């Protein structure tokens, strides 16, 4: 199969359709009450067909994405078939099979995935080989596959480009004017719209605020789905918007906790750990979506929100990250950046970090001159 941009785009669209459909099917397959022997056989036959179809769909989709996971997917579904066959021999076998092989989502597995898919990059090139065998349920497998896709910027940025624009934030403009520096592209942030033209994604792009502190933001538009990847906000904020219902559902992942109090105040915040924070919230209508999204993004902390506190032992200032039991955050952050660059080998990433450093140096110089 030729992995063209169009083929990858079709694969991406197919995955999110499959992901949405399977989540609905998993709820429908929840066993309800006591079954007769005939009902048990009918139920297991339906589950078997669903598992076979799902295996083939996943393999086809990931071939289109040029990601080879055939062997691991075959192993996973072969094990589910064995577990399905054995469930008829147990008193509560069907209920246990549904919980232990289909629906459960173990918190330790979720944390493992969060620690592997960080800031739009897979920490390990062998992540698929190491994580998929750890998935015990169909729900866990889908969770990892979804995370591996939305954290794959090389894949997402290979989608068709609809439009891109550059802008300079008022803060950067003020610094440039104070220094008497001519503003060029190195001072400007960039937002790019990928995928297919939809009213919701177009509105998000057109109304994107020029004071957003994300130096590089990607908006990926798909049918009933919009993904936003905003660098610098929480290191690398990912927003996943489901627009299939009247009330859009917004899920987000923040890989770096720059300021715990600010993160705790975010709408719909869930669990906060050393691997990052996740949350979700519902928006009343699509007409309110842009306003709610940009209001949320404005509240996500950046490195500039890291709190400076005095060290009483030596009288010096030190960086304090608002995260319990968090150690060596600076080293952790730098190591992740290096791992991303090594994993992707993308020159654009290196350029982005260099430009970011230049801008931070200019800002620091201006602050120090103002103090003088």
In this prediction, residue 356 has a pLDDT band, given cuts at 50, 70 and 90, of: low
List pLDDT tens digits, range 298-308: 999 998 888 65
Please give the average per-residue pLDDT across 354-367, as a whole number. 52
Per-residue pLDDT at 261: 93
Q: Which is more confident, 17 or 77? A: 77
List pLDDT tens digits, range 53-108: 999 999 999 999 999 999 999 999 999 999 999 998 887 899 999 999 999 999 89
Per-residue pLDDT at 235: 85
List pLDDT tens digits, range 163-219: 999 988 888 888 888 888 888 888 889 999 999 999 999 999 999 998 898 988 999
pTM of the model: 0.72
Is it the case that residue 318 has pLDDT exceeding 70? no
Proportion of the chain above pLDDT 70, given as a percent: 79
Query: CA-based Rg of the chain, rounded to a whole angstrom?
Result: 23
In this prediction, residue 348 has a pLDDT band, given cuts at 50, 70 and 90, of: very low
Per-residue pLDDT at 320: 42
Domain layout of the chain by residue ranges:
5-151, 159-302
List pLDDT tens digits, range 225-284: 999 999 889 988 999 999 999 999 999 999 888 899 999 999 999 988 877 899 999 999
Per-residue pLDDT at 290: 97
């Amino acid at each position: 199969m030729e992995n063209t941009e169009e083929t990858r785009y079709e694969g991406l669209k197919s995955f999110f359709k499959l992901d949405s459909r399977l989540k609905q099917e998993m709820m429908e397959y929840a066993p309800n009450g006591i079954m007769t022997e005939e009902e048990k056989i009918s139920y297991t036959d339906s589950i078997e067909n669903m598992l076979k179809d799902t295996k083939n769909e996943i393999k086809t989709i990931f071939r289109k994405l040029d990601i080879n996971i055939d062997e691991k997917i075959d192993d996973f579904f072969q094990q589910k078939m064995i577990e399905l066959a054995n469930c008829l021999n147990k008193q509560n076998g069907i209920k246990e099979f549904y919980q232990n092989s289909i629906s459960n989502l173990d918190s330790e597995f979720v944390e493992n995935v969060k620690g592997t898919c960080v800031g739009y990059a897979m920490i390990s090139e062998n992540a698929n080989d190491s994580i998929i065998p750890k998935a015990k349920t169909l729900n866990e497998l889908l969770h990892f596959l979804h995370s591996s896709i939305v954290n794959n910027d090389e894949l997402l940025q290979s989608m068709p480009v609809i439009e891109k624009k550059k802008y300079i934030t008022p803060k950067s403009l003020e610094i440039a004017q104070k220094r008497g520096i001519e503003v060029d592209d190195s001072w400007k942030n960039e937002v790019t719209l990928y995928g297919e033209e939809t009213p919701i994604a177009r509105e998000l792009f057109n109304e994107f605020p020029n004071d957003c502190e994300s130096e590089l933001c990607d908006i990926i538009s798909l049918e009933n789905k919009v993904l936003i990847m905003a660098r610098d906000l929480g290191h690398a904020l990912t927003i996943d918007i489901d627009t299939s219902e009247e009330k859009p559902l917004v899920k987000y992942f923040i890989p770096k906790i720059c300021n715990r109090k600010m993160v705790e105040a975010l709408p719909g915040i869930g669990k906060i750990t050393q691997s990052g924070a996740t949350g979700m919230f519902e928006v009343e209508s699509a007409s309110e979506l842009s306003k709610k999204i940009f209001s949320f993004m404005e509240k996500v902390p950046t490195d500039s929100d890291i709190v400076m506190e005095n060290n009483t032992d030596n009288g010096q200032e030190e960086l304090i990250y608002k995260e319990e039991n968090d150690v060596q955050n600076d080293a952790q952050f730098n190591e992740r950046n290096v791992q991303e660059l090594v994993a992707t080998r993308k020159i654009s990433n290196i350029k982005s970090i260099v430009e970011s450093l230049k801008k931070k140096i200019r800002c620091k110089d201006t602050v120090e001159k103002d103090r003088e």
